[in-house]
């Protein structure tokens, strides 16, 4: 396969995301990881910060680039001339929403295909929300995110003066 987009909010990037990026980069020639800039959704990290963390963790993969977009994903994909979208699936609970999105995207642009990649077993419970929840209460999340991202989250929560709690 030639080129693909792996889109997401990545607020923040988890080891589950990194696993999909790694595996995908071995299948496609060029992978674009695209961060959604969504002014309607309050994020912990700015788009610039999320792009930065993705750039750091994807540095070892020469065929991976990082970008951001706003608006419809299919418009971004068309603009970039990329006709394959990769999404990660963790559990059946993800399926319904992802299925709806994939069908909506196909209705909007039938030339763009969506492929799903199953998460690795270790990460089936993992999400950005879980990481934020654990980090915000001072729990140990060092196994959940890449080390570079761990430091960025630590800094973010220490700046916001969040109280620590041991689990
Ligand atoms: O990491 P997420 O939050 O699950 O990623 C969701 C994302 C960014 C892939 C999805 O929300 C998206 O593509 N948003 C852009 C708007 C769009 O194209 N929606 C689909 C058609 S309704």
**CA-closest candidate to residue 126, choices 18, 33, 45:** 18
Mean pLDDT of 23-39: 96
Residue 117 lies in a domain: yes
Mean pLDDT of 134-158: 95
Full residue range of the structural domain in which residue 90 is found: 3-124
Q: pTM (2 decimals)?
A: 0.94
**Per-residue pLDDT tens for 93-112?**
899 999 999 999 999 999 99
Instruction: Verify whether residue 42 is a known catalytic residue.
Output: no
Instruction: Verify whether residue 124 is a known catalytic residue.
Output: no
Question: In the prediction, which pLDDT does 162 show?
Answer: 54
For the chain, the domain total comes to: 1
Residue of 9, 25, 128, 136 marked active site: 128
Model confidence at 161, in pLDDT bands (50, 70, 90)? Answer: low
What CATH number does the domain containing 68 carry?
3.40.50.620
Residue 52 lies in a domain: yes
- Does 105 sit in the ligand 1 pocket, CB within 6 Å? yes
Query: Would you call 78 exposed, middle or buried from its count of C-beta atoms within 10 A (0-12, 13-18, 19+)?
Result: middle
Instruction: Indicate which atom in ligand 1 lies nearest the CA of residue 73.
Output: 18
Question: Rounded distance, CA 144 to CA 15, Å?
Answer: 6
Instruction: Indicate which atom in ligand 1 lies nearest the CA of residue 108.
Output: 21
- Calculate what percentage of the chain has a pLDDT beyond 90: 88
Instruction: Verify whether residue 128 is a known catalytic residue.
Output: yes
């Amino acid at each position: 396969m030639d080129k693909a987009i792996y889109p997401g909010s990545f607020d923040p990037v988890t080891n589950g995301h990194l696993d999909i990026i790694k595996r995908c980069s071995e299948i496609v020639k060029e992978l674009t990881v695209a961060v959604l800039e969504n002014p309607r959704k309050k994020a912990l990290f700015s788009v610039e910060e999320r792009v930065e963390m993705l750039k750091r963790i994807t540095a070892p993969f020469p065929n991976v680039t990082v970008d951001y977009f706003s608006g419809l994903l299919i418009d971004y994909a068309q603009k970039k001339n990329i006709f394959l979208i990769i999404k990660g699936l963790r559990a059946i609970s993800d399926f319904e929403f992802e299925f709806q999105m994939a069908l909506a995207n196909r209705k909007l642009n039938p030339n763009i295909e969506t492929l799903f990649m199953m998460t690795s077993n270790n990460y089936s419970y993992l999400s950005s929300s879980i990481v934020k929840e654990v980090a915000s209460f001072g729990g140990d999340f060092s196994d959940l995110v890449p080390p570079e991202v761990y430091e960025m989250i630590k800094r973010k929560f220490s700046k916001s003066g969040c109280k620590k709690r041991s689990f």
